[in-house]
Structure 1
């Protein structure tokens, strides 16, 4: 199923940042008039501030793959010019200053700067300030008139009318979709810092990618159902939108994810649209959230038929509901667990203490341990402080080599000073390390590969298994290789990782292709 691509083999492909370019009638440039950027309610020339929605729009346009500029008239106050210039610099926008007596010169300068066959130049202006509107209209531009202070923008007959700046990305998507009939619109939603990480790598362009995807940021500042009706595919990071995990009182200890209000609203609206392809369905994500469930999934690796001499497996584990259990040591022994062991909360993400962990050296120290219950006690695997991060993007499999926690004997030596007390840590912030070990870099990669003998074919078989069982499109998992046995042990699985270690020119086209292939696969299933 997977085409294997190693971390250090760079595949020569067309630069993903060039995806589409707005040709064929798409949007080739966006000119924002100062009247839609600045707060119109203040007439004070000594101060200047942004209008509603301006900051949101700048963040969406910054990595949109569409040339963007800011225009303002001569004679604007020093405070306003200063603010506009800071924005131009911060977002790498272009500057166009116009004089009412020579508007043609400015229009010609913009047209020359963004000349791109029959691509559309959008001129975004408020309904009370015509600016370049008449000449722009005569030059073949498309004016987008934004209502200010609730005034009726439709009085102006020379353009498209929107009520707020947040509507502009949707307008751009609709124009780009019309430019080519087989373009697909992907609506995406995730927390701002994660979105920024993807966007700055060129993953979310508003202009069509090489394989015909247009990415629309979904916002709850607009009716979500209206936006969803305009998209073909929804991609989300729902694990960022968990408000709590509701535990059942039944004997199976099953749990239910409680999402935030806005994610519940998104789910409700998606439920009203039978043709909307969600990557990935919310129910499919649950095993990733529950460390017990994912451990149970990994047990299935025992039945994996491979040609390798090595074994791939999950770590030995035990679910613990009470650290005061008098038979805990016996239960650990029956679960093939020796000390030290690593202790993790059963809830893997979405709650505040999901990453509060401990490495325990003595059975007596489970008593009073501060790791949230229920917890998973997991085998601590000696792995030469080396971890392999694997990323599944549709049919592509990538990996990167990372430094990891030291072997057990090193941890014991370092903890001996404090009486072998448990090592408490937050796995998102810092991990226990070997202070004497120098970080390994790219130059050590081949040496590590020989030392640890990573079996790519074996891990590929496991990736196929996980994709089939979890039915996820984009996910990641961490592998360590046990010293001595050479067992490949999968110690963590996560949904929609950043895959930041994979070069953009390789990862981003694979990301796009994974989304499109999943869409066509789901359409084929439903036909």
Structure 2
């Protein structure tokens, strides 16, 4: 190709209008993600990234080629569905109907049991859990389902509100009786996992897995002498007394990431099953049987 041809192509590329991506995020997420480095990169790639004005109707906003959002309040969802009815050709990441299932801690995990993974050495499963819409005969129900302490008590809804984050670690029957969480809620077995969680971020076909500090393991002898019930807001204070920075750093260093082939297969199949392009999920390694387990999927955290 001649120099004149290359210059002609460059001129044609630079003359193209930028690809306009609008975003609707909470102020906290804007502060976390919309960094100068990101804006510089998108500008280099011919992309104009700009915020929507949430105080104005979505249909009245400037034209754009794609919309990325992480909001779930009813007024926004109504506006978004109305916008899609008028502009079905404009990609929205992600569609509110597909996101809706992730606001329920039972439905968000249902697809896991239907994944068709090829690995013969690693398996994926959900920790034993129980959905309760009434507090009646709770202990009997736990026994009949063979669910054992300690348990994590979570509200059923995972919609990003303060109430959805009111979770507790329940060590025994006394703690369960003292639980003030109103039904419906979910009780999930706490699985010892070496104090490390693997967070997997998915953006289309791009997949990234990283290690993060998590709750420490709970030994059998500790169950008999520990607190009956511990809200998650107090767990950091408890673990700070038991773990030094050096011990946590050693745990993080020694924790082995799941094989990238396994992570990529799980992420790809989840993306297809959930019909989502922008989400993340957590995996933990079961310390008892050395299996990789999905602990929960959080794809739209507010």
Q: What TM-score range do you get, normalising by the shorter chain?
A: 0.7 to 0.9
The CA deviation at 1:445 is 4.8
Structure 1 unaligned spans of 5+ = 1-22, 26-177, 243-258, 499-527
Report what 1:227 is aligned to.
Answer: 61
Give the alignment partner of residue 192 of structure 1, picking from 1, 9, 27: 27
Contact 1:392-1:475 within 8 A present in 2 as well: yes
Report what 2:98 is aligned to.
Answer: 284
Report what 1:482 is aligned to.
Answer: 286
RMSD: 3.1
**Closer, same or farther in 2 for the Cα pair 1:432/1:479, shift >3 Å?**
farther
Contact 2:154-2:166 within 8 A present in 1 as well: yes
**Closer, same or farther in 2 for the Cα pair 1:203/1:193, shift >3 Å?**
same
CA–CA separation in structure 2 for the residues paired with 1:391 and 1:222: 31
The CA deviation at 1:273 is 1.4
Shift >4 Å, 4+ stretches? 204-207, 429-432, 440-446
Bigger shift: residues 214-223 or 343-352:
214-223
CA–CA separation in structure 2 for the residues paired with 1:305 and 1:189: 35
Q: Alpha-carbon deviations, 1:242-292, whole Å to 9, x = none? A: 3xxxxxxxxxxxxxxxx1x34423432332112211011011111221101
Q: Alpha-carbon deviations, 1:461-516, whole Å to 9, x = none? A: 22122111111111111111111311111112122569xxxxxxxxxxxxxxxxxx
Report what 1:437 is aligned to.
Answer: 243
CA–CA separation in structure 2 for the residues paired with 1:222 and 1:484: 53
Give the alignment partner of residue 379 of structure 1, picking from 186, 189, 198: 189
Q: Say yes or no: does 1:213 pair with 2:17.
A: no
TM-score, normalising length: structure 2 = 0.84
Contact 2:57-2:79 within 8 A present in 1 as well: no
CA–CA separation in structure 1 for the residues paired with 2:100 and 2:291: 27
CA–CA separation in structure 1 for the residues paired with 2:250 and 2:17: 44
Q: Say yes or no: does 1:295 pair with 2:109.
A: yes
The CA deviation at 1:346 is 0.5
CA–CA separation in structure 2 for the residues paired with 1:310 and 1:331: 31
Give the alignment partner of residue 275 of structure 2, picking from 445, 451, 471: 471
**Closer, same or farther in 2 for the Cα pair 1:284/1:305, shift >3 Å?**
same
CA–CA separation in structure 1 for the residues paired with 2:38 and 2:142: 45
Q: Which structure exhibits the higher relative contact order, with contacts defined as CA atoms closer than 8 Å and separated by 6 or more residues?
A: 2
Q: Say yes or no: does 1:236 pair with 2:78.
A: no
Q: Say yes or no: does 1:310 pair with 2:122.
A: yes
**Closer, same or farther in 2 for the Cα pair 1:374/1:221, shift >3 Å?**
closer
CA–CA separation in structure 2 for the residues paired with 1:182 and 1:437: 54
**Closer, same or farther in 2 for the Cα pair 1:269/1:331, shift >3 Å?**
same
Contact 1:289-1:348 within 8 A present in 2 as well: yes
Contact 1:405-1:432 within 8 A present in 2 as well: no
Aligned partner of residue 22 in structure 2, secondary structure: strand
CA–CA separation in structure 1 for the residues paired with 2:263 and 2:105: 20
Contact 1:206-1:215 within 8 A present in 2 as well: no
TM-score, normalising length: structure 1 = 0.50
Aligned partner of residue 216 in structure 1, secondary structure: strand
CA–CA separation in structure 2 for the residues paired with 1:497 and 1:209: 29
Report what 1:448 is aligned to.
Answer: 255
Q: Say yes or no: does 1:271 pair with 2:56.
A: no
